[in-house]
Structure 1
Amino acid sequence: MADSTTGEQNMTRLGEEGVRGRLERYRELRITEEELAVALLTPVMLFLLAVSFYPIVDTVWASLHTGYVIQLPTKPTEFVGIENYQRLFSDGSFWNALGVSLFYTFVSVPIELVFGLGLALLLKADFKGKYFAQAAILFPWALPTVINAKIWAWLLNPNYGVISDILVRVGILSAPYPFLSKPDAALYAMTSITIWKTTSFMALIMLAGLSSIPDHLYESARMDGASRWRQFRDITLPLLKPTILVALIFRTLPAFQAFGLPYGLTGGGPGEATTTLVLYTQQAAYNNPGPTNGGFALGSAAATVITMIALVIALIYVATLYEPEVR
C-alpha cells in the first residue's frame, strides 16, 4: 500500500516537473502573449487573404476594366472606370433581378424566423421522442439545394406532379396548374420552398439561444404571477436578440445571394420571373461574354454591387439588434 502511494506521489511530482519544464522553455523563448497571438493568427490571415480578400479585390479590378480579363495576363485589358457600372444600372434585367432578390429575401427570412422560433419553442419542451424530432426537422435543410429544387420541380409539374393531382382530387383546382410556368406563381413557389427548407435551420439556431437562457428567470417570473406571454415578451425575446441577430445574418445573406434553388427549380424563368441577382451575374458573365469579354466585366460589376448591398444589410442588422449589455 505504501509502495503504491509512493509511486503515485512520484508520478505526480514528475508531472509537475514536466509542466514546469515546459513553462521554463516557453519563457526562454521570450515570447509575449501578444507575439504568440500574432504567430498563431498569421497563417489564418494569410489563408483568408488568399481565398477571400484577393478574389474580392480581383473582382473589383475586373469590374473597372474591359478586355480579356479572364484570359492570359498577356492579353490586353483597358481601364474603363465606372463604365461597366453604368451599363449595369441601365440594364432592366439587373433591376428585375434586384427586385426578385429583395422579394425573395425579405419575404422568406421573416417567415422563417417566426416559424423557426415557434418550432424551437415546441422542441424545447419535454416530450417523448424529443431528440428524434430535433434530428428529423433538419432533414429539409440537410438536402442539397439543387436536389431539393429538382424534387420540388417534379412535385409541382402539372402533368405528373403530386401537388396538382392532390389539389384536383380534393376539388381545390379544376385542372392541373402550371405553378412554375406562371411568373407570379413561380416566384411564390420558390419563396415557399426556401421557407420549407430553411425554417429548420432557423429553429436550430433559436433552440441553441433558448437553451442558453437560465431557467431561474422563468421560475422567478412564474412566482411573480407573470403569464406565458409576458415571460416570452420580457425574458425570451430580449435575451434572444443576439441569437436573432446571428440567425438573420446567417439567413439573409445566403438568401440574397441565392443561386442553387432558382437555377435548379426554374433556371430563372419563366422569362426572368425568378432570376435572382447571383443568377443574373452568372448569366451576364458566362452566357454572353462578347468579343472582349465585356460580359465578364459586367458580371464582376454586378458581383461587386451584390457584395456592397450584402454588407449594408449586415450593418443595418448589427446597428438595429446588437446590444452588448444583453450578452
Structure 2
Amino acid sequence: MSTRLARREHRAAWLFLTPLALVMLLVAVWPLSRTVFFAFTNAYLDDPTNYSMVGIDNFIEVLTDSGWWHVVRNTLVFTSISVAIETVLGLAIALLINEAIPGRGLVRAAILVPWAIPVVVATKIWDWMLNDQFGVINALIVGLGLSDHGIAWTANSSLIMGVVIFIDVWMTTPFMVLLILAGLQLLPGEIFEAAHVDGIPAWKRFWSITLPLLTPAIGVAVLFRALDALRMFDLAYVLSASNENIMTVSIYARDRLISYQELGVGSAAASCVFLLVAFVAILIIGVLRLDRSAGAA
C-alpha cells in the first residue's frame, strides 16, 4: 500500500513539474543553447543564416582581448564592494526593524521604495541629482561651503565607480533587508529570552547566537545578490554607456553583439559571462555547504 502511494505521489510530482520544465526549456535552455552554438561560428547579426564553424576562435579572441579582462575586473570590483556594503547595511537595518520600535510598519514599507523604482528611472534621477551644473547634490555641497564649484561625479574617472556602487547600494539594500529579516523572524525566540535572563550582554548574544543562526539566510541573500550584481548592465549603461571605467562583462557582450554586429564573438562573450556567473555561484554554494558541515560537526 505504501509503495503504491509513493508511486502515485511520484507521478503527481512529475505531473506538476512538467509544465515548469517545458517553460524552462522554452525560455532558458533553448536561447542558451543557441547562444553557445553561435559562439562557435563566424556569424554576423545582419545575416545570421550565413555562417561557418570556426571552433574556439571566438573564445580565443575574447579571452586574449585586454578589454575583456578590464571589464572582468570592473565587474568583480563592483560586485565584491557593493554586495559587502549591502550585506552589512541589510543586516543592521533588519536587526533594527525586527525590534518592537514605534512606526516599525511604516519603516518596513518605506525601505521598499528604492527597490520598487525601476533601475533606469532611479539611475536617471541620481544622474540629474549629481550633475555638476544643476544637480541638487552639488548645490548642497556648494551651499554648505564644502566646495566652491560643482563636482563632476559621473565624468571623473576616479569617482564614477564609486557613484555606480553608491546608487546600487541605495537601490538594492532593501532586497538584502527583506531576506535577512525573513531569516531573523524564523529564529526561535526562546533562546534569546533564556540568554537575556542569564545576563548575557546584547553584543555577545548577537555574536554567539544571532549571527551563527542567521548565517544560512545571509548566505542565500549574498548568493542571490552576487549573481545579480555580476550580470549588472542597466545601471552602468544608462549612467555612462561608453565609459570603460564602469563597463561590465554584460555591456562588453552587448557591444560586440549589437554595436559591432559580431554574432559569433558576441555569443562567445555572452557564454563567458554565463561561465563566470556559474563559477561564482558554485563557489558561494560550496562555501555555504562547508560552513553548514562545520556547524553540524
TM more than 0.5? yes
Choose 1 or 2 for highest CA Rg.
1
State yes or no: 1:138 paired with 2:94: no
Matched, 1:162 2:151: no
Give the whole-Å Cα distance in 2 for the aligned partners of 1:68 and 1:118: 50
> How do residues 14-163 of structure 1 correspond to structure 2 at under 5 angstroms?
32-68=8-44, 71=47, 75-163=49-137
- Runs of 4+ residues deviating >3 angstroms: 68-72
1:218 corresponds to which of 192, 196, 202 = 192
Correspondent of 2:182 among 208, 212, 223: 208
Whole-Å Cα distance in 2 between the matches of residues 318 and 209 of structure 1?
18
SS in structure 1 at match of 2:52 = strand
Deviation of 1:174 (Å): 2.1
* Shift, 1:92, TM fit: 2.0
Segment of structure 1 superposing worse, 224-233 or 142-151: 224-233
Deviations 1:229-251 (A, max 9, x none): 11111111111122112101111
Question: For each residue in 1:164-183, what CA deviation from the matched residue of structure 2 results, as whole angstroms up to 9, or x when unmatched?
Answer: 11111112222111111111
1:174 aligns with 2:148: yes
SS in 2 for 1:79: coil
Indicate the percent of aligned positions where both proteins have the same amino acid. 34
Gap regions ≥5 residues in structure 1: 1-26, 290-294
**Equivalent residue for 1:305, pick from 259, 272, 275:** 272
CA distance in 2, matches of 1:225, 1:164: 49
Kept in 2, the 8 Å contact 1:268–1:276? The answer is: no
Q: In 2 relative to 1, CA 38–199 (structure 1 residues): closer, same or farther, beyond 3 Å? A: same
Q: Match of 1:321?
A: 288
1:194 aligns with 2:144: no
Q: Partner of 2:250 in structure 1?
A: 278
Looking at structure 1, the residues matched to 45 and 239 of structure 2 have their Cα atoms a distance apart, in angstroms, of: 31
- Could you tell me how far 1:67 is from its partner in structure 2? 2.2
CA distance in structure 1 between the partners assigned to 2:197 and 2:46 by the alignment: 68
Aligned with 1:179: secondary structure?
A: coil
- 8 A contact 1:268–1:279 mirrored in 2: no
Q: Structure 2 regions of 5+ residues with no counterpart? A: none
Deviation at 1:68, TM superposition (A): 4.3
1:186–1:273 Cα contact (<8 Å) kept:
yes
* Count of residues in correspondence between the two structures: 290
Task: For residues 144-197 of structure 1, give each alpha carbon's deviation from its aligned partner in whole angstroms, at most 9, with x where no partner exists.
Answer: 000011001101110101111111111222211111111121111011110111
Could you tell me how far 1:265 is from its partner in structure 2?
1.2
Paired with 1:69 and 1:296, the residues of 2 have a C-alpha distance of 5
TM-score by length of 2: 0.93
Give the Cα separation in 1 of the matches to 2:44 and 2:252.
Answer: 20
> Structure 1 residue 237 and structure 2 residue 211: aligned?
yes
Deviations 1:251-277 (A, max 9, x none): 1111111011011111242xx111111
Give the distance between the partners of 2:43 and 2:274, measured in 1 at CA: 23
Q: Name the CA distance, whole Å, in 2 between partners of 1:56 and 1:250.
A: 20
- How many Å apart are 1:70 and its aligned residue? 7.0
Cα root mean square deviation, aligned: 1.9
Separation in 2, partners of 1:62, 1:184: 37
